[in-house]
Structure 1
Amino acid sequence: MEADFWHQRWKNNEIGFHQKEINSHLQSFWPEIHVKPNGSVFVPLCGKSRDMLWLRGQGYHVIGVEISPLAVESFFAENDLQPEIRKFGSFEYWECDGLSILRGDFFDLQPADLAGVDAVFDRASLIALPPEMRRRYALHLHALLPESVEILLVTLQYPQDQMQGPPFAVESQEVHDLYAKYYHIDCLFSLDVLAENHKFRERGISHMDEKVFLLRNHQKLST
C-alpha cells in the first residue's frame, strides 16, 4: 500500500475513514494521558482530522503528518485557517496558530522532527496499514519518539476474511506483539460497535470490536 493508493483515495473522495465529528474516545480517554500544559501532541497519518482542532483547543501544540497534499489543503481551507508554508528537508510545513502539518511520508520522519512531542493520538494510522507495513510503522514510530511519550491508540477487530481493508483488523495480541517490548499496555475500552456502523454490516461483517489502548513507556513507569 504505497503513496499512490492514498493519493487516489483522496482524489476520488473515497475517505470513509474521515470522521466529521471529534472522536469520542479522544474526548473520553485523553484525561488518562499525562501531558504537560502547552505540550505537543503528534497525530500520525492525520488526513484532515478535526481531532487536531480539539487537541489544539485543549492548549496543546499539534503536529500531524500527512502524505496527501489534497488532505492538507482541505484541512486548512475547511477550517478557515491561513497557514504559512515552508519547505524543510523532506517535508512541506503547513503551520498556523499551534498547528503544524508536515506534508510528506511518515517513514521519512526523523527523531528531530518530533523531539518535543509529549503524546501521540493514533485513531486511524495503525488500522490504515496492511499487516506487512504495521511492524515497520510501529518500529519507526518508537524510534522517532522521546522515551516519555504516551500513546492513545484506537483499533478495530473483525474477521479479516470478511472484508478487505482499510480499515484493517488489528487484534489485541498484535498490539502487544508490536509494542509490549517498549510500552506497558492497558486496554481502556472494548465494545462491539457493528450495530452503529451500517456500512460495515452491508459488507458482511459479523462483528466489529473497537478498542482503545493506553501505551506508557516502561522506563517512564519505573521512574
Structure 2
Amino acid sequence: MDPDFWQEKWQKREIAFHQAAANPLLVSCFDQLAIAPEARVFLPLCGKSVDSHWLLARGYRVVGAELSEVAVTELFAELGLTPTVSTVGKLQHYSADKLEVFVGDIFDLSQVSLGPVAAIYDRAALVALPDSMRKRYAEHLVTISQGAPQLVICFEYDQAMLAGPPFSVDSAEIDTLYSAVYHLNCLAELEVPGGLKKKCQATERAWLLSKQ
C-alpha cells in the first residue's frame, strides 16, 4: 500500500474507518490474552483509535505505530496529553504518560526500538494491507514483538464485491500467516451491521494467537 494513500486519507478527513467507540470484539475478547495489569500492548497502524483510550482506561500501557502524524497528534490531543517528541532512527517517537507512538513506516520499527510487549492488538493493520504485503507484515510483527500473543480482528467478505481496504482476510489466510508460530483460536464473530461500507455482507472475526 502506497504510504501516500493513507496520508491523503487523513489530510482529506476520509476516515470512515475511524470508530467512535471501542471495538465490541476488543471489549469482549481482550481478557483472553490473560496479560498482567499495566502490561505493555502494541497497536500496529493505530491511527487515533479510541481502542487506545479503552486500553489506557483499564491501566494498560499502549505503544502504537502509525504512518500519519496528523492521526497521532489528534490522538494525544483527544486524550489531553502533551507528548515529548524525539527521533528514533527513521521514526518520530511521541510519548506521554502511558502512551507512546512511533510515527512512520512500521517496517522501519525494530525490536530494539519497540522494546518488550506483552501482547499485540491488531484491529486495523492486517486488514489495511493488500495481500502482497501481508506475509511480510506478519513476519515483521512476530520478529519485533518476539512472538508476543495477539488479538487479531479481521473482516471476511466477498473481495469481488469490494476493492478494499479493509481487505478480506479469511481463516485460511490467518492459518497460512501465523500457524507456524501460534496456536489459533477464533474467539467470536459478528455480522457487520448493514454490510461493509453498506455494499456487501461481511463478518468480523476475533482471533486469539497464543504462543505454541
2:203 corresponds in structure 1 to 209
Q: TM-score, normalised by structure 1?
A: 0.91
2:150 corresponds in structure 1 to 151
For structure 2, list consecutive stretches of 5 or more residues without a partner in the other structure. none
For structure 1, list consecutive stretches of 5 or more residues without a partner in the other structure. 219-223
The code of the aligned residue for 2:172 comes to: Q
Matched, 1:106 2:106: yes
1:86-112 deviations in Å (ceiling 9; x for gaps):
112121111111000111110001111
RMSD over equivalenced CA pairs, Å:
1.3
CA shift at 1:163, angstroms?
Answer: 0.5
| Structure 1 residue matching 2:118: 3-state secondary structure | strand
The code of the aligned residue for 1:23 comes to: N
2:37 corresponds in structure 1 to 37
2:191 corresponds in structure 1 to 192
Alignment of 1:10-159 (within 5 A): 10-147=10-147, 149-159=148-158
For 1:157 and 1:37, locate their aligned partners in 2 and report how far apart those are by CA, in whole Å: 32
The code of the aligned residue for 1:12 comes to: K
> Which protein has the larger Cα radius of gyration, Structure 1 or Structure 2?
1
1:221 corresponds in structure 2 to none
Q: Which 4+ stretches in 1 moved above 4 angstroms?
A: none
Cα 1:142–1:93, aligned 2, differ >3 Å: closer, same or farther? same
The code of the aligned residue for 1:118 comes to: A
CA shift at 1:115, angstroms?
Answer: 2.7
CA shift at 1:80, angstroms?
Answer: 2.0
1:34·1:150 contact (CA, 8 Å) conserved in 2? no
2:92·2:104 contact (CA, 8 Å) conserved in 1? yes
1:65·1:103 contact (CA, 8 Å) conserved in 2? yes
1:156·1:169 contact (CA, 8 Å) conserved in 2? yes
2:67·2:104 contact (CA, 8 Å) conserved in 1? yes
2:180 corresponds in structure 1 to 181
The code of the aligned residue for 2:194 comes to: N
For 1:88 and 1:145, locate their aligned partners in 2 and report how far apart those are by CA, in whole Å: 17
Identical aligned residues as a percent: 40
CA shift at 1:78, angstroms?
Answer: 2.5
1:110-139 deviations in Å (ceiling 9; x for gaps):
111233100010011100011101111101
1:164 corresponds in structure 2 to 163
Cα 1:16–1:214, aligned 2, differ >3 Å: closer, same or farther? same
For 1:85 and 1:157, locate their aligned partners in 2 and report how far apart those are by CA, in whole Å: 38
1:171-195 deviations in Å (ceiling 9; x for gaps):
11000000000000000012322xx
| Structure 1 residue matching 2:120: 3-state secondary structure | strand
| Structure 1 residue matching 2:197: 3-state secondary structure | helix
